[in-house]
Amino acid sequence: MQTSTPSQSAGSTSGSGAAIKTKILMIRLSSLGDVILSTSALTAVRRRSQVRPEVHWVVSREYATLLKGHPLIDKLWVFDRALGLRGWLTLCNRLWAEGYTEIYDLHSTTRSRIAKLYFIVREYLREISQKEEDKPEAAPLFWRTLNKERLKLNAYFLFKKLWPKNLRPSPLVERFAKLVGGCGEERPDLVHLVEAGAEQLPYDFIDFGQNPYLCVMPSSKWDGKKWAVRNFFEVIRTAGLPVVVLGSFQDRESALLAKLLEQSGLPFYSGIGRFDFPQLATVLGHSVGYVGNDTGLAHLAEAVGSRAVMIFGPTNPEMGFGPWNPESKSITTSLWCSPCGKDGRFCFRVTDRFACQRNILPKHVSAAIHEIAGA
């Protein structure tokens, strides 16, 4: 399979002298935070040329509403991961027929590698067919894959704070942008969701949202990344702001925090299980700020123009997925053993497990909230 550079694809001509239309495919299926961060690539593609290319995106069904209606995406391909390999190959066949000039694998997973292999085979068969029929060669296919910088990340886990800063993973948001030819300063922008979600908000929230409020997400998929609910409660108690408690029906910590707030009489709104992604974007975008564990909602808050306070225990913002808004705040632990992994599963402390989370005190988070909210 031949390759070209983005600039060659965008401005080249075929053997017959006809201009080649720039048609770009981006592949990022999941997860929440990574899909959000990868949209910096859209901004980068838009800025690199005066002529707007046609851009398509492949995403998993559960995250499709994040990208639906994005002004820089011309066509959204939604894949249901329950369809398995056969469904993925069927989608690959449809994508091949689109005739993309540039393809960017922003995911670098088994599925995207299968897609690349499929395209290589189809490209090879096409070249053979063109030679047999004595047809002019088609424009070469350009394919680039995200570098996950696993060596840098694993070395950081091994040597901790002793590992030189210039050898730690670069921010993901910059890697996505540079992959497509950007300078690395481009950032995610999902402001379009704010207007879309505003039309669907519950009536009782509209009344609640008339006054300034803070968004709080106390839960996480991983136990090692959960800051204590009692700590969140103390922070809210001293913040002096009404709060919106976020989370799904499966987030036990969100339910517990809502119960504590109700018992204490502090003003709050339970958004547990009540918002889809556009509605969440609206709620976050109109808030004075967001506070929560190291989860994807923090990146959504930043992508819609809000400031975030992210709490890191076993993880660290220098792993590549810290806040990118200069007005956001990172709260980290001073323990020598952090970071130990992406989710805290490999905490080696037998008698003092997840001490990194307990090492962060409510006063540390409260100070950051006062800074971002101006309280």
* pLDDT tens per residue, range 230-249: 999 999 999 999 999 999 99
Q: Model confidence over 214-227: pLDDT tens digits?
A: 999 999 999 999 99
Confidence band of 129 (pLDDT split at 50, 70, 90): confident
More confident residue, 242 or 345: 242
Confidence band of 21 (pLDDT split at 50, 70, 90): confident
Cβ-based neighbours of 142, under 8 Å, separated by 6 or more: 3, 4, 5, 6, 8, 9, 101, 102, 103
Query: How do 75-79 and 102-105 pair as beta strands?
Result: unpaired
Confidence band of 136 (pLDDT split at 50, 70, 90): low
Task: Specify the CATH architecture of the domain 192-373.
Answer: 3-Layer(aba) Sandwich (3.40)
Looking at residue 20, what is its pLDDT?
Answer: 56
More confident residue, 11 or 323: 323
341: left (phi > 0), else alpha (psi -120 to 50), else beta? left
Q: Cα(301)–Cα(287) distance, rounded to whole angstroms? A: 9
What tokens appear for 313 in the block? Answer: 């225990």
Query: What is the crossing angle of helices 229-239 and 362-373, to 10°?
Result: 40
Q: Which part of the chain is CATH 3.40.50.2000? A: 6-179, 192-373
CATH class label, 6-179: alpha beta
Exposure b/e, 327-349, CB count within 10 A at least 16 = b = ebbbbbbebeebbbbbbbeebee
Residue 47: phi and psi, rounded to 5, are -80, -20
Q: Cα(216)–Cα(334) distance, rounded to whole angstroms? A: 24
Looking at residue 276, what is its pLDDT?
Answer: 95
- Least Cα distance to 272 among 205, 322, 320 occurs for 205
Looking at residue 349, what is its pLDDT?
Answer: 86
Q: Cα(302)–Cα(158) distance, rounded to whole angstroms? A: 30
Cβ-based neighbours of 101, under 8 Å, separated by 6 or more: 9, 10, 20, 21, 22, 23, 24, 139, 141, 142
